[in-house]
Amino acid sequence: MASKRSHVARGSKKQLKVTRDSPRGTEGGRGVMYVGHIPHGFYEEQMKKFFSQFGHVTRVRLARSKKTANSKGYAFLEFEFDEVAQIAAETMNNYLMFGKLLKCNYIPPGKVHPYLFKGAGRALKRLPRRKIFVQQYNRPRTVEEHSKLVRKLVKKEDKKRDKMKEVGIEYEFPGYRARLTAEAKHMRFT
C-alpha cells in the first residue's frame, strides 16, 4: 500500500518542488503556531510584541484580504524553538482577548507548508477601488458598446410608452427614440 502512495505522489503533476529560490518552510528546531479568532486591532506588530513574552518570534503572517487589506481573523507565528511554540499554543488557547476567545494550535514541523510564510514581511497596500471603478465606468466606449447601450435605452423607453398607453395616458415625449431618429437622419445627409 505504501508503494502505491509513493507511486501516485511521484506521478502527480502538482508535486511541490522546493528550490533555493522558493520560500522555505521552517528551519530545523523552529516551531509554528496557528492563532484564530483574532480581534480587530491585534495585528502583526502587536502579535509579535505580545507573543514575544514566550520566546523570540521570528516571523508573523496575518491572513489579509487581497481586496480590502483587512484582517481575515487568523495568523501563523513562527518561534525560534519548537518547544516554545508548543507551550505558547497550550497557554494561549481559549485566552479571552478583547471579548474574543483566541484559538491557538501548535503545527507539527511535518505539516508546515513551505509557502506558509510567503509575503510575511511585506505590507499589503490597499488599492483605490473606487477610483479604479470610476475610471472604468467613464472610459470611452466603442461603437458597438455605444449602439448596444442605445438599443437598451430605447427598449426601456418603449416599454414605458406602452405602459402609459395601457393606462390611458396619451402623452408624447421626445426621448431616446427621437434622438436616435435625428442622429440617423443626420448620418444619412452627411
DSSP character at residue 24: P
Place of cell 479571552: 96
pLDDT of residue 46: 93
pLDDT of residue 18: 40
On whether the CB atoms of residues 94 and 102 are closer than 8 A, the answer is yes
Q: Return the HEC string of 73-118.
A: EEEEEEECCHHHHHHHHHHHCCEEECCEEEEEEEECHHHCCCCCCC
- The predicted model scores a pTM of 0.57
pLDDT of residue 112: 92
pLDDT of residue 11: 42
Alpha carbons within 13 angstroms on the beta-carbon side of residue 78 total 21
Question: Tens of pLDDT along 5-50?
Answer: 333 344 444 444 443 333 444 556 799 999 999 999 999 999 999 9
DSSP character at residue 70: -
What domains, with CATH codes, occur in the chain?
A: 18-127 (3.30.70.330), 140-189 (no CATH)
pLDDT of residue 139: 92
pLDDT of residue 28: 65
Residue 159 to residue 181: CA distance in whole angstroms: 18
Q: Which residues of the chain have a pLDDT value below 70? A: 1-28, 182-190
- Return the bridge partners of 77, or none: 33, 60
pLDDT of residue 186: 61
User: Phi first, then psi: what are they for 103, rounded to 5°?
Assistant: -110, 115
